[in-house]
Amino acid sequence: MIASRVWRSASVWLVYVVGFVPAAWYFYLGATGQIPGNAVKVFEHLLGVWALRFLLVTLAVTPIRDLFGINLIRYRRALGLLAFWYVVMHFSTYMILDQALNFQVIVNDIAKRPFITIGMASFALLIPLAITSNSWSIRKLGSRWNSLHKLSYVIILGGALHYLMAVRVITPEPAIYMAIAAVLVGYRLFFRSRVLAWRKQRRAVAMAR
């Protein structure tokens, strides 16, 4: 019993540790000159793609529980915060390594280039979610916490759109990320209530027998 509780909290920490491996590994490759060409850009892209992956996985936790009965809710906060930290790293790499803190260029980019404006908006919306990702806020905010965290659906669409608009030609990757994001948002908006109602009904029927 105790062992399993220890494993549970340890496994959450494991998610954090494993989650930071891609960033650490590519930072190491970049810093030791093992990424040919424009290492900073490669690093920046990689962080952006991993941010998007963690956002998608975070939002997949609920449908996976609804549809397959697999409960990963314990890891959801870690996954969401990993997404947040990857966006922070992506943004910092862009500002510090890529643009060398040339604020005129950065402000101009954010104001004038729609794909960056959208990325920035998604990042801005992520901040309150990251700040309230703790038990105290959940208790304190009650049902407002749930409403606030519905912003994640706007963020994921924004992130996927930002990716689609950032590339020079449409390749399968950004299209696939956008499709997954759309399915997750669509599930939440249109199907989830039906799935839950159906499950409740089935459970009621089973109990009546």
Partner 1 sequence: MAVYRYPSPLGSEITSEGAYLNRRSLIAGALASIPLLHGVEASAETLKSKPGPFSTDETPTSFMDVTNYNNFYEFGSGKSDPASNSGDFRPEPWTLEVGGLVAKPKTFDLDELRGFDLEDRLYRMRCVEAWSMVIPWIGFPLSALLDQVEPLGSAKYVAFETVVRPEEMGGQRGLFQPLPWPYVEGLRLDEARHPLAILAVGLYGQTLPNQNGAPVRLVVPWKYGFKGIKSIVKMTLVEEQPVSSWERLQPSEYGFYANVNPAVDHPRWSQATEIRIGEGGFLSPGRRETLPFNGYAEQVASIYDGMDLAANY
The DSSP code sequence of 44-112 is HHHHHHHHHHHHHHHHHHHHHHHHH----GGGHHHHHHHHHHHHHHHHHIIIIIISTT-HHHHHHHHHH
Q: Residue 100 or 197: which CB sits closer to ligand HEM? A: 100
Name the amino acid, one letter, at 33. G
Nearest distance from residue 199's CB to ligand HEM, in Å? Answer: 32
Q: Residue 19 or 48: which CB sits closer to ligand HEM? A: 48
CB 67 within 8 A of CB 195: yes
Rounded Cα–Cα distance for residues 13 and 48 (Å): 22
Q: Pick from ligand HEM, partner 1, none: which does 172 bind, CB < 5 to 8 A by kind? A: partner 1
Q: Pick from partner 1, ligand HEM, none: which does 37 bind, CB < 5 to 8 A by kind? A: partner 1
CB 92 within 8 A of CB 28: no
Rounded Cα–Cα distance for residues 209 and 191 (Å): 27
Q: Residue 86 or 94: which CB sits closer to partner 1? A: 94
Kindly list the residues in this chain that would bind partner 1 in the complex (CB under 8 A): 30-31, 33, 35-43, 97-100, 102, 105, 108-109, 113, 115, 165-172
Nearest distance from residue 103's CB to partner 1, in Å? Answer: 13
Q: Give the nearest residue (CB) to ligand HEM.
A: 48
Q: Pick from partner 1, ligand HEM, none: which does 165 bind, CB < 5 to 8 A by kind? A: partner 1
